[in-house]
Structure 1
């Protein structure tokens, strides 16, 4: 088995690296990847991004949002989480056999003291009945990866807020995440493993996987990216993980409802969004206006359903002429929420 410790703390670059290594580098043994990233949300390939993400909270706290190429539900990562990925030949593995592919991680955690860790249900790893890892798979051209999170010391309070979306706000047919009780694995480890940094915990996992005492014993097993690798990874970043259309435009068609009561009346804005763009928009309410709000509707129709795009368009209007007495900034927050 080979391993690679990603140098980047950006989930987008790390996912691009994973995708590249699976598709373009041939290994004569399985490859295991480890990556640690700054606060981020990764939605599954078939999910509606906005339906999974608390957009206001994410924007306020600078949390990166991207989409991965594998299925499954949305996950939150921060610098207290380790992501791992096993890259194998799909000829030798059964797609969907999470139990087999996560077994080395489970065995390593058992050796480190988390003896109740186990796989449960379809693709979750639990300890004492609480989830600390979600997993997904992807296969292409006879290669496959099985990747997952491993919450070591994640800020669980942020996790619950970043992934908490009002149920009546967005409706679509996208695959929805199943919320469950979550925990960190750290308190279940032996005492000597409870004060490690995330990087130290990652390296300890690697030692357990390879059954060695020192990283120097497996230097020949650690992959190093070439300049050619890095250039190809950047191309994938541009095509997928930094690309608004991939992250939001690939969401299934959906409806958004934003409604708020102001002193001068109630405004109810409803969007139908297709391929990430506003297909049509309705504006209801008992507000007053000198001008017809159809002007607003026409201006927004066909535009990207994106906070900055909506805000830029509305800033071209004197909104008081359409919604008398309602503050401009509050209307922007309503329309672009």
Structure 2
């Protein structure tokens, strides 16, 4: 079994590595990696509905979509991610308890009383330290999960604090659980030592395992996948199921505006902005012009920059943007 420890903290690269190892190799692999602060949404989720947009935007926390289903998770430099990829019989590939077993044994060896939870997670004192998900490709399965060692739980909770009334869709919804850090239960080891311990434990756990590095050719193909998929708006946001949004805001001068829109494959397909009667023509024009625009802040920033530059509009760009997230 190949044992690979990533030296790269780029979420897009590590997610692409998982997909490459699953789809393009026949090896059994365990892969450990650490990502920069980021939000990772499940394959079938509405990315914007899973995050606190105002908070993530203000704090520059990017969003990426992974290959597996399940709920949204927060990654940072004190969270260790594990991934197991194996071949097997098609109807016996997904087994959360089986792939959680080596992680549980490793934590137990550190003196931590961790256990397997009812929601296929790993818990300590009935608090979640690891979320898990799986994805099947032909006769191969990828099972991966998080290990919150000393993550910024305040950031995690704020970034994933959502308004369930804002978006309506048929996407898979995350189920929030109380979380804790593994470091609260082991005082004699730091994150670097913890990572090394888990890696070496897995080398011993799986027979005939050896430390391994990606070849130059593999890295080349992974980087291509990063470029063509994992850094694209089409994958990270456009892949979201169709959804609708209704938002009302109050401007500094007391004026109230509302926006009701439908987004299909990431693009605004219907939009209706309303407010004061004296600007009804403006709202109609903006609503109509925005149809076909990808529902991302950068796109809307460009639109309203041009709109405000070319016309005498009292509404600030920041106020316009509030209507859409």
TM-score range, shorter chain: over 0.9
Equivalent of 1:113 in 89, 111, 114: 111
User: 1:8 Cα deviation (Å)?
Assistant: 0.8
Q: Quick one: distance in 2 between partners of 1:282 and 1:170?
A: 15
Q: Does the CA contact (< 8 Å) of 1:118 and 1:126 recur in 2?
A: yes
Equivalent of 2:155 in 139, 153, 158: 158
Any idea what SS the aligned residue of 2:131 has? strand
User: 1:328 Cα deviation (Å)?
Assistant: 1.7
Q: Does the CA contact (< 8 Å) of 2:308 and 2:317 recur in 1?
A: no
Residue 242 (structure 1) aligned with residue 231 (structure 2): yes
User: 1:58 Cα deviation (Å)?
Assistant: 1.3
Per the alignment, residue 267 of structure 2 pairs with 277
C-alpha distance after superposition, 1:200-220 (max 9, x if no partner): 2111112233349xxxxx998
Per the alignment, residue 181 of structure 1 pairs with 178
Q: Does the CA contact (< 8 Å) of 1:320 and 1:328 recur in 2?
A: no
Q: Quick one: distance in 2 between partners of 1:302 and 1:92?
A: 41
> So what's the TM-score if we normalise by structure 2?
0.93
Gaps of 5+ in 2: none
C-alpha distance after superposition, 1:93-125 (max 9, x if no partner): 82331001110010010010112x111113211
Q: Quick one: distance in 2 between partners of 1:175 and 1:235?
A: 29
User: 1:91 Cα deviation (Å)?
Assistant: 2.1
Matches within 5 A, 1:270-309: 270-286=260-276, 288-289=278-279, 291-309=281-299
Output the aligned Cα RMSD.
Answer: 2.3
User: 1:311 Cα deviation (Å)?
Assistant: 2.1
Residue 148 (structure 1) aligned with residue 145 (structure 2): yes
Per the alignment, residue 335 of structure 1 pairs with 323
Equivalent of 1:72 in 70, 73, 76: 70
Any idea what SS the aligned residue of 1:293 has? helix
Aligned in 2, Cα 1:285/1:121: closer, same or farther, shift over 3 Å? same
Per the alignment, residue 215 of structure 1 pairs with none
Per the alignment, residue 171 of structure 1 pairs with 168
How many residues matched? 323
Q: Quick one: distance in 2 between partners of 1:199 and 1:315?
A: 45
Per the alignment, residue 23 of structure 1 pairs with 23
Q: Quick one: distance in 2 between partners of 1:322 and 1:178?
A: 46
Equivalent of 1:128 in 125, 128, 131: 125
Q: Quick one: distance in 2 between partners of 1:243 and 1:233?
A: 14
Q: Quick one: distance in 2 between partners of 1:220 and 1:66?
A: 30
Any idea what SS the aligned residue of 1:232 has? helix
Aligned in 2, Cα 1:11/1:137: closer, same or farther, shift over 3 Å? same
Per the alignment, residue 57 of structure 1 pairs with 55
Any idea what SS the aligned residue of 1:315 has? helix
Any idea what SS the aligned residue of 2:229 has? helix
Gaps of 5+ in 1: 213-217
Aligned in 2, Cα 1:321/1:287: closer, same or farther, shift over 3 Å? farther
Q: Quick one: distance in 1 between partners of 2:147 and 2:138?
A: 27
Q: Quick one: distance in 1 between partners of 2:309 and 2:168?
A: 28
Q: Quick one: distance in 1 between partners of 2:96 and 2:56?
A: 30
Q: Quick one: distance in 1 between partners of 2:230 and 2:90?
A: 29
Equivalent of 1:192 in 173, 188, 193: 188
